[in-house]
Amino acid sequence: MKPFLAMLTRDMKLATRIGGDSLTVLLFYIMTGAIMPFAIGPDKDQLAQLGPAIIWISALLSLLLALDRLFRMDHEDGSLLAMRQASLPLEMIVVAKICAHWVTTALPLIVATPVLAILLNLEIDQTLRVIFTLLVGTPALICFGAIGAAVTVSIKRGGLIAPILILPLSIPTLIFGVSAVSSGAIANAQDAALLFLAGFTLLSLVFTPFAAALALKMAAE
Q: Which residues bind other proteins (CB under 8 A)?
A: 144, 147-148, 150-152, 154-155, 157-158, 161, 164-165, 167-169, 171-172, 175-176, 179, 184-186, 189, 196, 200, 203, 207, 211, 214-215, 218-219, 221
The 10 Å CB-count burial string (b at 16+, else e) for 101-138 is bbbbbbbbbbeebeebbebbbbeeebbebbbebbebbb
Nearest approach in angstroms of CB 169 to other proteins is 5
Nearest approach in angstroms of CB 126 to other proteins is 17
Nearer to other proteins, 119 or 167 (CB): 167
| DSSP string of the chain, one letter each residue | -HHHHHHHHHHHHHHHSTT--HHHHHHHHHHHHHHHHHHH-S-HHHHHHHHHHHHHHHHHHHHHHHGGGTTHHHHHTTHHHHHTTSSS-HHHHHHHHHHHHIIIIIHHHHHHHHHHHHHTT--HHHHHHHHHHHHHHHHHHHHHHHHHHHHTTT-SS-TTHHHHHHHHHTHHHHHHHHHTTS--SSTTHHHHHHHHHHHHHHHHHHHHHHHHHHHHHHHH-
Nearer to other proteins, 26 or 67 (CB): 67
Nearer to other proteins, 116 or 180 (CB): 180
Nearer to other proteins, 115 or 192 (CB): 192
Nearest approach in angstroms of CB 161 to other proteins is 5
Nearest approach in angstroms of CB 168 to other proteins is 4
Nearer to other proteins, 22 or 173 (CB): 173
Nearest approach in angstroms of CB 111 to other proteins is 28
Nearer to other proteins, 68 or 116 (CB): 68
Nearest approach in angstroms of CB 72 to other proteins is 14
